[in-house]
Amino acid sequence: MTAYLIVDVDDLLQRLEARGLVLDIQTIATSLLNAASLAAGLGSPDELMAIAVADWNRYRRPSGSAGVSVQQVFANTGYDLFNVPDRRVVADALLTHYFSFEQQVVDELIIASSRMDIAALVQRVPVSERARLRIWGDEPPTGLPGVIFQPLEVILGLPSKTVALYIDFENISISLSEQGYIINLDDLLEGMIRQAQTHGQVIHMAAYAPWGQRGSLAPMIDRTGREVSDEVTSRLARANIDPVYSLPGKNSADMRIAKDVLDDSARPDSADVFIIASGDRDFNEVFSAVRTRNKQVIVWGVRGSTSRLLESNPALSVEYIEDFCRLRRANEAMAAHTAPYAPGEEPPEFRPSQWSSVILQLDILLAERAADRVSLNTLVRRLVETHAVPNPERAEDLILQAAKQGILVVDTEQGTVMPNANSEVVAKTRLIRDRIVHRVANTLHVRGWEYVNYGFLLKGIGMDHGLAGPGLNTTDAWRSEWVDTLVREGILVRELVPHRHNPEDLVPVIKLSEVEGPALAPQVIGVSRDEVEAMIRRIIVSVEQFTSFRGFAWCPLGSLHRRLRPFDPSTAFQQAVEELQEQGAVVINEYDNPLSEFKTKGISLVEESPIVQRVLDERNRFVRALLALYEQRLPLSREAIRQASGLDGRELDLWLSIMQAENVLKAVPGQTDLYSLFRTHHTVCMVAGDPPARAESGE
C-alpha cells in the first residue's frame, strides 16, 4: 500500500500563531504522523511517506544559536523536507518530484493544509481505484468531490476556543466610508465571519445600529454594484448575525454593546474570546472589566478612525477591518464600475440609493434658485430637513463621500457644491426622474386627469423607450421603487382615492407635487388628438405588414417604436399603444424570441377589432388608388393621388407619409411631389390579389 502525508508547514504555523496558540512543534509533527498512519490503516508510521513542505529558509537558525529549529524537528520525526521558496509553483514542484512515475499510484493521500494551492493536488496525483483522499484543514474544500474532510484541530486535539462578536455597525460603516472605502456588504460580512473563525468556534454574532433610520448608515453595495443599504438587516440575518436595534445617537449603540458584553462575559458558559468591532474609546473600561474575567479581548477598528487609547492598550489585540475584508477605495471602485461588462454578463439594476436623495434634493435647490451650485450648508440643511440623514454631521459625510466618488463637485474654499454632470450615477438618476415626471405631467395635461392610476403609470413607464440603458426599466418592482423614491423626495405625491366603480375600494394614484414637481418637470409637450390618431394608423399598418409578411403572430415592440420614432416628437407612441390596448385592438405580451434566449416584449393586432378593420380598410383603399394610377401608366403625382383617393390636406399627407415609411411609395429624386410605386411590395401584392407567392418587400 502506498500512502502519503503532505504537511503544509507554513500554513500550519501561521494558523497556530493567528489563534494565539503556543504548542510544541515536536508534538504537532508526531501527532500528524501517528494520525495519518492510523487513518491509512498502516501497521507503523514508518510505512508512511511523510513530506513537510515549507520555505525552509525562513526557519533556519543562525549557526551557534540555542534551541532546535522547526526544520530539525520535522526531519528528526521522519519527514522528508521539501523546500519551496516560491509558493506559486508548490503544486507543480511536488507533483514532479514525488508523483511523476507512471507505474506508481497512490492508495492513500492526506494533505494537511487550508490552502487550495496544495489541496488541489488531490485532483492531480495518480491514484488507485480504491484510493482514499483526505484533507485536514479549517473547512471543507469546494470543488473537490470525493474528498474526506476532517478539521485539523480535531486531528491535533487542539483546545477549541469559543468566540462572541459584537459589531457597532453604524460606527464601522461610517468609519470605513470616511476613510474612502466603498462598502461592499458581501465582502464585509464574509471577511468578518472568516476572521472571527480564525480565533475559534463562533457561538454568537450581533450587529448594532438604529436600523430603519434613514441615512444612519453609509451607502453599501453588493458584489453586483447594486445599492443594498435597505437590505442590511435581512442580509445580516442570513449570515447568522443578529441585527440589534439601538437608538440613534453616538453613545446609544456603545451603551447597548457595553451592557451586552458585560452581561454575557459574566455567564458561566460565556465565550473565551470577545471581539468588539468599534474604534470608540468609550469601550476601554469595558474591555478592562472583561479581561479581569480571563477573557481574551480583540478590537476590530478602521485605520485612522480607531482611538489611539485602544491602539496603545497592551492588554488588547487590535485588528483592522480593511486588512481582512476585501474592500476597495472609491477611485478603485469607480475604475471597476466603468470597466466594460464581460460577454454575457448582465449589468446590475440601477436602483435608488442614498446618492439618489443627494442628487434629487440638490437639483430641487438648483431649480428653486435658478443656479448651477449652492452652498454646502444649504444642501446639508435640506438633507436633514427631508430626513435623508439624521443629523448635519452625517449629511456632511454623505456629501464628501459623493464627492470622492465623482457624483458631486465640492469647492471647499468657496463652500459650494454642484452635481457632476459627467457622473453616470447623476445622469441615470436624472434620466429616470425626468422620464417618470414627464410621463405623469403629459398624462395629466393631455387627458385632463387629476391624477394617474399607479398601475397605469407603471405600465406606461414600462413602455417608455426613452428610459433605456444598462440596468434601467427592468421590472415592475424596479419601476415601483423609483416612483416611491420620487414620492419620498417630494417630487411626486401618492394618495389613495375611491375606485370609480367601487367607492369602498381605495386605489393608489400619483400626482405631481405642487411645489417640487413643476419645478423639475421638463416642459410638457402637448400631444394633440390628431397626433395620437395618426400614430394609431401608423402602428396598425406597421404591425400588420410585419406579421403578415414574415408569418409572425407578433411584432417586437421595441423595433416598432424605433421605426416610428421619427414621427413621435413626444409621447404619441405610448399614448397610441395605451389607447389601442384600452380598446382591445392590440395585445402586449412577453414572447419567446427564436433569435434570442430572452423573452421579447411584442405587440399583436386583434383583427376583429373595429378600429383595426377601419384602419386597414383605409390603407387598402389608398393602395387601390395607387394601383389604378400605376396600371393606367399615369404619373403618381400628389395631385393625381389626391384625385384618385379622394383624400386631401392632412389625411392625404398622412397616408403619403405612411406609404413612404412602409416602402410602398418612394419619392422620385429631384422631382417634387412625384412618387414611384413598389409594385412587388408584399402589401401591394396582397391588396391587388396577386398569387400568394411571397415577393421581396425591400425591407
Kindly report, residue by residue over 89-111, the tens digit of the pLDDT. Answer: 899 999 888 887 666 789 999 99
Instruction: Give pLDDT tens digits for 310-355.
Output: 777 777 888 999 988 888 876 554 444 444 455 555 677 888 888 8
Among 85-99, 162-176, 502-516, name the one with the lowest average pLDDT.
Answer: 502-516
Task: Please report, as a single letter, which amino acid is at residue 210.
Answer: P
Instruction: Give pLDDT tens digits for 356-383.
Output: 999 999 999 998 888 999 999 999 999 9
Could you tell me where the beta strands, DSSP code E, fall in 350-505? 374-375, 408-411, 416-419, 452-453, 492-498
Residue 159 has a pLDDT of 60
Task: Please report, as a single letter, which amino acid is at residue 437.
Answer: V
239 and 167 Cβ atoms separated by less than 8 Å: no
180 and 220 Cβ atoms separated by less than 8 Å: no
Ranked by mean pLDDT, which of 60-69, 94-103, 506-515, 647-656 comes out on top?
Answer: 647-656
Residue 331 has a pLDDT of 57
Residue 523 has a pLDDT of 46
Ranked by mean pLDDT, which of 302-311, 393-402, 406-415, 616-625 comes out on top?
Answer: 616-625
Instruction: Give pLDDT tens digits for 377-404.
Output: 999 999 999 888 888 888 888 898 888 8
CA of residue 302 relative to chain centroid, distance: 25
Residue 526: pLDDT band with limits 50, 70, 90? low
- Who has greater pLDDT, 444 or 556? 556
Residue 561: pLDDT band with limits 50, 70, 90? confident
Among 39-48, 90-99, 141-150, 222-231, name the one with the lowest average pLDDT.
Answer: 222-231
| Arithmetic mean of pLDDT, 620-647 | 93
Residue 570: pLDDT band with limits 50, 70, 90? low
Ranked by mean pLDDT, which of 126-135, 247-256, 442-451 comes out on top?
Answer: 126-135
The H-assigned helical ranges of 88-178 are: 90-98, 116-119, 152-156, 169-178
Residue 344 has a pLDDT of 54
Closest CA to 295 of 321, 269, 322: 269
pLDDT at 694 over 50: no
Task: Please report, as a single letter, which amino acid is at residue 76.
Answer: N
Among 121-125, 136-140, 345-349, 424-428, name the one with the lowest average pLDDT.
Answer: 345-349
- Measure the CA–CA gap between 462 and 2, rounded to whole angstroms: 66
Residue 17: pLDDT band with limits 50, 70, 90? confident
488's grid cell: 419620498
Domains, the chain, ranges and CATH? 3-156 (3.40.50), 162-330 (3.40.50.1010), 354-422 (1.10.10), 426-520 (1.10.10), 529-605 (3.30.420), 611-688 (1.10.10)
696's grid cell: 421581396
Residue 655 has a pLDDT of 95
154's grid cell: 480535531
Residue 21 has a pLDDT of 62
Please report, to the nearest 10 degrees, the dihedral formed by the alpha carbons of residues 137, 139, 143, 147 taken in order.
Answer: 50
Q: What is the pTM of this model?
A: 0.55
The H-assigned helical ranges of 157-281 are: 169-178, 185-197, 232-238, 252-265
Angle among Cα 194, 349, 383 to the nearest 5 degrees reads 85
| Arithmetic mean of pLDDT, 633-642 | 92
Residue 383 has a pLDDT of 92
Residue 669 has a pLDDT of 86
Residue 656 has a pLDDT of 94
The chain-wide mean pLDDT, for the chain, equals 85
pLDDT at 265 over 90: yes
